[in-house]
């Protein structure tokens, strides 16, 4: 087996640093888009922004209001929630809504996704596609969307807006 030269090592380290920087920039733009989305909807952006050490999932989730405590024990697609950020809260058609980005998974791994939680036991989403999953827990209905190739992904703000606009079973004026 060929030994790694100093040049190869520097290329490897540079590539890793470039990937880390690109992900950090993505999270910065995502937080900005979520703040703008919240303002446009008349919702409140609670934060926090994406964790600075996003590559490390903490062993225990720490949450604070308005995220309900049952989230600690919520297991979308069988895995627990490891981190929560970009929390948005508001009301639409009399339904309390929480929107947040999260990492689900065990140990150090995980998948990013967006959850839309509504404080209602009835499914308020008029349109749910094959890539969406609706889960009911503790008096809340949670839309866990954006599944593709057996992985979950964060929803774009336009798609979140489409789901928020349809809450209560009928479409409202479009946000985006």
Q: What residue segments make up the domains of the chain, in order of their start? A: 6-165
What the block records as the tokens of 76 is: 């979308």
Before 48, cis peptide (omega within 30)?
yes
pLDDT of residue 168: 65
Sign of the Cα torsion 32, 34, 40, 45 reads negative
Instruction: Name the β-bridge partners of 85.
Output: 101
pLDDT of residue 172: 41
For residue 161, count CB atoms less than 10 angstroms from its CB and return exposed for 0-12, middle for 13-18, buried for 19 or more. middle
Mean pLDDT computed over every residue of the chain: 78
pTM for the model stands at 0.78
Rounded Cα distance, 110 and 107, in Å: 8
Instruction: Name the β-bridge partners of 113.
Output: 102
Is the pLDDT confidence value at 31 over 50?
Answer: yes
| C-alpha closest to that of 48 among 108, 97, 88, 104 | 88
Look at the block and give the residue holding tokens 């520097």.
10
pLDDT band at 42 (very low <50, low <70, confident <90, very high): very high
Of the chain, the percentage scoring pLDDT greater than 90 comes to 17
Minimum mean pLDDT range among 38-42, 98-102, 127-131, 161-165: 127-131
Note the pLDDT tens digit of each residue in 78-100.
777 878 889 999 999 889 999 99
pLDDT of residue 175: 36
Rounded Cα distance, 82 and 61, in Å: 5
């Amino acid at each position: 087996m060929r030994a790694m030269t100093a040049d190869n090592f520097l290329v490897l380290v540079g590539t890793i640093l470039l990937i880390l920087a690109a992900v950090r920039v993505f999270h910065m733009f995502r937080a900005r888009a979520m703040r703008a989305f919240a303002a446009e909807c008349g919702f409140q952006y609670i934060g926090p922004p994406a964790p600075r050490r996003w590559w490390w999932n903490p062993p225990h989730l720490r949450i604070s209001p308005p995220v309900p405590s049952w989230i600690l024990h919520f297991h979308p697609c069988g895995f627990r929630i490891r981190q929560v950020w970009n929390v948005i809260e508001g009301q639409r058609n009399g339904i309390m809504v929480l929107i947040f980005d999260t990492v689900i998974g065990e140990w150090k791994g995980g998948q990013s996704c967006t959850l839309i939680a509504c404080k209602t036991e009835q499914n308020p989403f008029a349109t749910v596609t094959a890539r969406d999953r609706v889960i009911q827990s503790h008096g809340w209905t949670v839309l866990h969307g954006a599944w593709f190739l057996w992985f979950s992904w964060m929803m774009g703000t336009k798609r979140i807006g489409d789901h928020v606009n349809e809450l209560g079973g009928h479409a409202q004026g479009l946000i985006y």
